Amino acid sequence: MASTKASKEQKYDRQLRLWGDHGQETLENAHVCLINATATGTEILKNLVLPGIGAFTIVDGHTVTGEDAGNNFHFLPTALLSFFLIVLFVQNRAQAATEHLQELNSDVSGNFVEEGPDKLLDNDSEFFHRFTIVIGVQLPESTCLRLGSVLWSASVPFLVCKTYGLIGYMRLVVQEHTVIESHPDNALEDLRLDQPYAEFQNHIKSYDLDSMEKKDHSHTPWIIIVAKHLEKWLSEHNGQPPKNYKEKEAFRQLIREGIRKNENGVPEDEENFEEAIKNVNTALNPTKIPSAVEDLFNSEQCKNITAQSPCFWVMLRAVKEFVHNEGNGSLPVRGTIPDMIADSQKFINLQNVYREKAMQDAAAVSKHVESLLQSVGKVWPESIPEKDIKLFCKNASFLRVVRCRSLAEEYSVDTVNKDEITSCMDSPDSEMVFYLMLRAVDRFYQQHSRYPGVYNYQVEEDISKLKACVNSLLQEYSLNVNIKDDYIHEFCRYGAAEPHTVSAFLGGSAAQEAIKIISHQFVPFNNTFIYNAMSQTSATLRL
């Protein structure tokens, strides 16, 4: 019983306000693969099914154990319980989970494969190529590295997740992930007061503050007020804008003197002038291309546009061309202004000046897009619609590209990020210690075919074995760090437990990162995230 368009709008209303209809569309076209339906895995998938991904496939060769049914919300067969007898079908985990997860949202189609990833790859090396993203949970190291290599070659994003005792771990493996809509929390306005474009200058000319009626004077937008007074200042200071605190104070004073006075010489209550004074600092921010964007301009993908270049790079190159031509060194005008005290007409007129300039700049960028595409034998606007170019220009200051190192690079002795590891471990209780312990535990599993401390009697005796793994790990990578015995003891104590609350924390975290990858909105982490439920702290490491 799939939903109607109207019922979907209702159901997804609260999230549509975050990523819009176009974001939702990318989710509905996505096919997510989950490997291993453990508590962590099903919690991640639940948080993807609820917002409406198109489809999921669970890959898992294991059967449900009593332990699994104890910490996982998505297994228990509800109809089969009687008060005195519990009947647990020995069901495959993938199948058991698919039924319950599917039931959460009728818009989503769920599939399962009762086979482990290693066997799948043996039989079909391209099995995983079809997915938008692969999420691997509780994977042994060898399987993880093998998948990492396969998915890297196929350019399929890979998200590795693990809950180990009270520690949560995520590793994002994606070669190049572009973000146009990063939605920054605190974006600076793009007002161009330091380099007013012609149309803006003309608009300011239409104002004569001195001769205006009182009502108009009090309802003139602060942007105009600052612009007018800046003109005055520049003419009196050799074309130099206010730079230091003293000069900015003087500039504020200049604006304050512009406030109308009544017959008794007392300044009137002009809130718009107060706004102007308050906003002097941000207004005088020099218009600059953010260094992150400059770096993108200088990257290989931008310099070498080919027929295979993704749209992002074609548009970026077009913007770069714009900057060096029509833009006179600046990005296309964003076209938005903040609300401010003003009467409707003045505000709308001013807003339109910015909007029209933005449209003009976007049109110029489109021209560059067209010629770039032509130069590589492609057609415009079919290849890159105009609305995409407009969105790109509006977000030009906020573009982000995330490039994660491969697992091979992380694990190779030649390219391991020694600096990051040793500098973090200067504080021996930093979250980095948990990364090293997880690596040591993987090593233990490789050697002993089990995790340390799973059974009570093993906890004590495994401490020395785990310590040996820690030492061999540090030695192999020539890491001159010290890991406190307490952590080795704690990781034996964990006994590879997967407590539900830690799984749930990772479930939310990983799901949102997956949504970022799918939608290309908001910025994913790069590249390792550690969560410590003991202290409720976390860290992002680049490994």
Partner 1 sequence: MAVDSGHRDGGCDWDGRWNHVKKFLERPGPFTHPDFEPSTESLQFLLETCKILVIGAGGLGCELLKNLALSGFRLIHVVDMDTIDPSNLNRQFLFRPNDVGRPKADVAADFINSRVPGCKVVPHFKKIQDCDESFYRRKCVLLNKHLIISLLSYEDGVLDPSSIIPLIDGGTEGFKGNARVILPGMTACIDCTLELYPPQINFPMCTIASMPRLPEHCIEYARILQWPKEKPFGGTLDGDNPEHIQWVFERSKERAAEFNITGVTYRLTQGVVKRIIPAVASTNAVIAAACATEVFKIATSAYIPLNNYMVFNDVDGLYTYTFEAERKENCSACSQVPQDLQFPPSAKLQEVLEYLTENASLQMKSPAITTTLEGKNKTLYLQSVKSIEERTRPNLCKTLKELGLSDGQELAVADITTPQTVLFKLNFTA
Is residue 528 a contact point for partner 1 (CB under 8 A)? no
In this chain, which of 54, 62, 69, 430 binds partner 1, going by CB under 8 A?
A: 69
* Smallest separation, CB 268 to partner 1 (Å): 16
> 3-state secondary structure string, 258-323?
CCCECCCCCECCCHHHHHHHHCHHHHCCCCCCCHHHHHHHCCHHHHCCCCCCCHHHHHHHHHHHHH
The sign one gets for the Cα dihedral 354, 357, 362, 365 is negative
CA 234-240-246 angle, 5° bins? 95
CA of residue 253 relative to chain centroid, distance: 42
Q: Which lies closer to partner 1 via its Cβ, residue 320 or residue 516?
A: 516
Q: Which lies closer to partner 1 via its Cβ, residue 148 or residue 507?
A: 507
* Smallest separation, CB 69 to partner 1 (Å): 7
Is residue 263 a contact point for partner 1 (CB under 8 A)? no
* Smallest separation, CB 97 to partner 1 (Å): 13
Q: Site residues for partner 1, window 438-457 (CB under 8 A)? A: 456
Is residue 120 a contact point for partner 1 (CB under 8 A)? no
* Smallest separation, CB 379 to partner 1 (Å): 32
Q: CB within 8 A of 476, min separation 6: which ones?
A: 413
Is residue 87 a contact point for partner 1 (CB under 8 A)? yes
CB neighbour class for 299 (10 Å; exposed up to 12, middle 13-18, buried from 19) = middle
Q: Which lies closer to partner 1 via its Cβ, residue 103 or residue 386?
A: 103
In this chain, which of 26, 34, 46, 317 binds partner 1, going by CB under 8 A?
A: 46
Q: Cβ–Cβ contacts within 10 Å for residue 478, how many?
A: 10
Is residue 17 a contact point for partner 1 (CB under 8 A)? yes
* Smallest separation, CB 75 to partner 1 (Å): 9
Dig out the tokens for 465 from the structure.
Answer: 């074995």
Q: Which lies closer to partner 1 via its Cβ, residue 55 or residue 497?
A: 497
In this chain, which of 5, 123, 185, 413 binds partner 1, going by CB under 8 A?
A: 185
Give 91's DSSP letter.
Answer: -
Listed residue (312, 299, 296) closest to 372, CA to CA? 312
Given the rule CB under 8 A, which of 179-187, 230-238, 290-298, 468-476 is the region that contacts partner 1?
Answer: 179-187
Is residue 218 a contact point for partner 1 (CB under 8 A)? no
Side by side, which strands form the sheet with 109-113? Answer: 109-113, 55-59, 31-35, 133-137, 158-164, 167-173, 528-532, 537-541
* Smallest separation, CB 463 to partner 1 (Å): 11
CA distance 429 to 471: 18
Question: Distance of CA 483 to CAs 430, 474, 530, Å?
Answer: 11, 10, 17
Q: Site residues for partner 1, window 497-516 (CB under 8 A)? A: 497-505, 507-509, 511-513, 515
Given the rule CB under 8 A, which of 53-61, 115-123, 197-205, 518-526 is the region that contacts partner 1?
Answer: 518-526
> 3-state secondary structure string, 433-487?
HHHHHHHHHHHHHHHHCCCCCCCCCHHHHHHHHHHHHHHHHHHHCCCCCCCCHHH
* Smallest separation, CB 234 to partner 1 (Å): 29
Q: Which helix (H) or strand (E) holds 137?
A: strand 133-137
Is residue 307 a contact point for partner 1 (CB under 8 A)? no
Given the rule CB under 8 A, which of 45-53, 298-306, 315-323, 416-424 is the region that contacts partner 1?
Answer: 45-53
Dig out the tokens for 361 from the structure.
Answer: 């700049």
* Smallest separation, CB 247 to partner 1 (Å): 31
Given the rule CB under 8 A, which of 87-95, 309-317, 318-326, 416-424 is the region that contacts partner 1?
Answer: 87-95
Q: Site residues for partner 1, window 334-363 (CB under 8 A)? A: 339-340, 342-345, 347-348, 351
